[in-house]
């Protein structure tokens, strides 16, 4: 597919600037300045000011990724967390609605909040994040998701593997090696997840890495609940602390608000393995979206899959050694 054809057929081809402005105005939002595109690959996100000078962010969800019920459940989770004093950003509500539908695009509008990048190795920030994660999970455990998915190998690993395996980005000489290692690692991840008792599963942010945490100077702000799902608690913790010392600090603070089963740390490498395989499949699946070749050009390089296979082989070794 050539670049001109891709521009016309990708998921956001119909989301022109006029469409964005018309969508906002249709639900009572009045931009008073040009839209400013923001860094977001899975969704389309724009910042704007209204006539009163207030700053907002509009997020257009990727078509066909989430249905309305799932998005509303994400927003309901945010409202519950805010009521529990967990620092999150709430979507604006119009006539009882927080997720709007315009020309087959679901979108939400949030107040724009600023902050610095979270520093995972900073002890002060890590301690505050531990307490915040504890409060997040204390609230999350009070209810269950009914529409949001549960973390599982079939959706989060096997489907991405299939996409990557059938992608033109995978060189022919690596196809057998990729199929072998990804299949074996996926089966091992499934075996591990089956060991988790039912009480280990709860509502989670789902993608709580440092990039989704803003440091405001006196605390943290949790953003981007787009991947919230049912998962073990460690799903929201393993990307924040690698060393034994950092994990101890994080969990000591976490347990001021919520009990933690330390045995879940054994699943950190399982979750890392799943994330590595999901990420490669995600890049392959989204490659027709012109945003992706522009921001991830290294995915098209010859050595990407050679390096990825080595990563998966190392993850397999780590899991087999546990």
Query: What are the sequence ranges of the domains in the chain?
Result: 3-113, 123-321
What whole-number distance in Å separates Cα of residue 179 and Cα of residue 164? 10
CATH value of 123-321 in 1.10.620.20, 3.40.30.10, 1.10.3730.10, 1.10.510.10: 1.10.510.10
- Counts of helices then strands in the chain (DSSP H, E): 11, 10
The owner of tokens 């939400």 is 108
Tell me if 3-113 shares its fold with 123-321.
no
Instruction: Check residue 69 and give its pLDDT.
Output: 98
What whole-number distance in Å separates Cα of residue 18 and Cα of residue 191? 49
Catalytic residues: 207, 224
Q: Which residues in the chain land under pLDDT 70?
A: 1-10
Q: Which residues contact 124 (CB under 8 A, 6 or more apart)?
A: none
- Annotate 140-177 with three-state secondary structure: HCCCCCCCCCECCHHHHHHHHHHHHHCCCCCCHHHHHH
Find out whether 143 and 94 touch, Cβ atoms under 8 Å: no
Enter the CATH code of domain 3-113: 3.30.200.70
Q: Where are the alpha helices (DSSP H) in 224-267?
A: 244-254
Instruction: Check residue 10 and give its pLDDT.
Output: 66
Find out whether 63 and 113 touch, Cβ atoms under 8 Å: no
Sign of CA dihedral 184, 188, 189, 194: positive
């Amino acid at each position: 597919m050539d670049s001109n054809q891709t521009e016309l057929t990708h998921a956001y081809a119909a989301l022109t600037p006029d469409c964005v402005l018309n969508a906002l105005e249709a639900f009572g939002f009045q931009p008073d300045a040009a839209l400013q595109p923001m860094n977001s690959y899975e969704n389309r996100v724009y910042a704007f000011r209204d006539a009163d000078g207030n700053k907002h962010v509009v997020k257009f969800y990727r078509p066909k990724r989430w249905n309305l019920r799932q998005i509303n459940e994400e927003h309901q989770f945010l409202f519950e967390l805010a009521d529990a004093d967990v620092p999150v950003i709430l979507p604006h509500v119009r006539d009882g609605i927080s997720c709007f539908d315009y020309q087959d695009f679901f979108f939400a509008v949030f107040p724009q909040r600023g902050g610095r990048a979270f520093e995972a190795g900073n002890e002060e920030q890590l301690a505050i994040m531990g307490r915040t994660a504890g409060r997040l999970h204390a609230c999350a455990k009070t209810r269950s998701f009914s529409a949001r998915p549960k973390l599982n190998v079939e959706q989060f690993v096997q489907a991405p593997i299939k996409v990557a395996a059938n992608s033109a980005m995978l060189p022919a000489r690596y196809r057998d090696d990729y199929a072998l290692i990804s299949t074996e690692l996926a089966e091992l991840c499934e075996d591990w997840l089956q060991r988790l008792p039912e009480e280990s599963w709860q509502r989670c942010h789902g993608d709580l890495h440092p990039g989704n945490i803003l440091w405001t100077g006196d605390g943290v702000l949790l953003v981007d609940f787009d991947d919230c799902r049912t998962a073990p608690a460690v799903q929201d913790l393993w990307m924040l602390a690698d060393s034994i010392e950092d994990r101890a600090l994080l969990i000591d603070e976490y347990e001021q608000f919520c009990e933690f089963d330390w045995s879940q740390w054994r699943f950190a490498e399982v979750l890392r393995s799943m994330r590595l395989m999901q990420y490669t499949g995600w890049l392959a699946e989204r490659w027709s979206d012109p945003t992706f070749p522009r921001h991830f050009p290294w995915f098209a390089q010859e050595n990407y899959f050679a390096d990825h296979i080595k990563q998966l082989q190392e993850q397999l070794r780590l899991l087999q050694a546990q």
